[in-house]
Amino acid sequence: MTVLIWGSLGLAVATLLTISLYFIERHQVRRVGLSWNGLTSLRAFAPFFGLLWLVVALLIHVFVSNLIAHQDCGLSGDPYVTLPNGYVLGSHNTYDGYFKSPGFETGVPVAGPGYVRGIIDLQYSNGYFTGTQFDFAASGIRHFVYDTRDRSFRVTDPGTPSHWEDVQTSVHNDESSYWVLYERYRHKWPNYVLLTLILIGEGAIVYWVWKSWSGPGRVSEDEPG
């Protein structure tokens, strides 16, 4: 939805800028003697070239994030990162926190072979994930221990009654929330790659427009039009 909203806005802005540039070009043709040619027409579509490059840069960013940094691109509704031990830590729809072992997928139970879902607080030390989890069957919060060596899972207490909505409201502000571990291992450098791509591409388009404006399209006012 975020991509759709910003994409629609970018398309609208590019359209308005293209129309504006088109009339500016026509005005310059009449006022100072610019020759109307293919290059002149092409300059008017520079905003769409800029929008197209932005899409290309975002696609490269997704590729870099997923396949090199092993995390989501930052625009996903299902954010995740890969921990140094190979486990994936994420959040389905930014609500259902989970971690899973390499090669495993999350399922319907809150805990299964190689994964744990519904996590709230989470720490990792000496091969153990420890934290709290929301037990949907009992509608309560319980402590758990997960051993990464044999993927065994055990609950350490019966749980404290609570509501899922209340848990999700407070989880982002909890000092031991799984989001803290998520942020600790989230790579920031893919964002710098994206920013660099955008600056280089958009800068090149602006430079091309500026050079073509003052170069091939202009003729002397003393020359016959």
Average pLDDT along the chain? 82
What's the pLDDT band for 98 if we cut at 50, 70, 90? very high
pTM score = 0.77
What's the pLDDT band for 126 if we cut at 50, 70, 90? very high
Over residues 143-165, the mean pLDDT reads 88
Contacts of residues 59-66 at CB distance under 8 Å and 24 or more positions apart, as own/partner, are 60/193, 60/194, 60/197, 61/190, 61/193, 61/194, 61/197, 64/190, 64/193, 65/190
Separation of alpha carbons 97 and 160, rounded Å: 18
Q: Is 140:162 a contact under the CB 8 Å cutoff?
A: yes
What's the pLDDT band for 60 if we cut at 50, 70, 90? very high
What's the pLDDT band for 27 if we cut at 50, 70, 90? low
H/E segment holding residue 131: strand 128-135
| pLDDT on residue 157 | 79
| pLDDT on residue 78 | 92
Over residues 146-163, the mean pLDDT reads 87
Is residue 77 pLDDT above 80, yes or no? yes
- Annotated domain spans of the chain: 2-69+189-214, 80-184
Q: Is 209:45 a contact under the CB 8 Å cutoff?
A: no
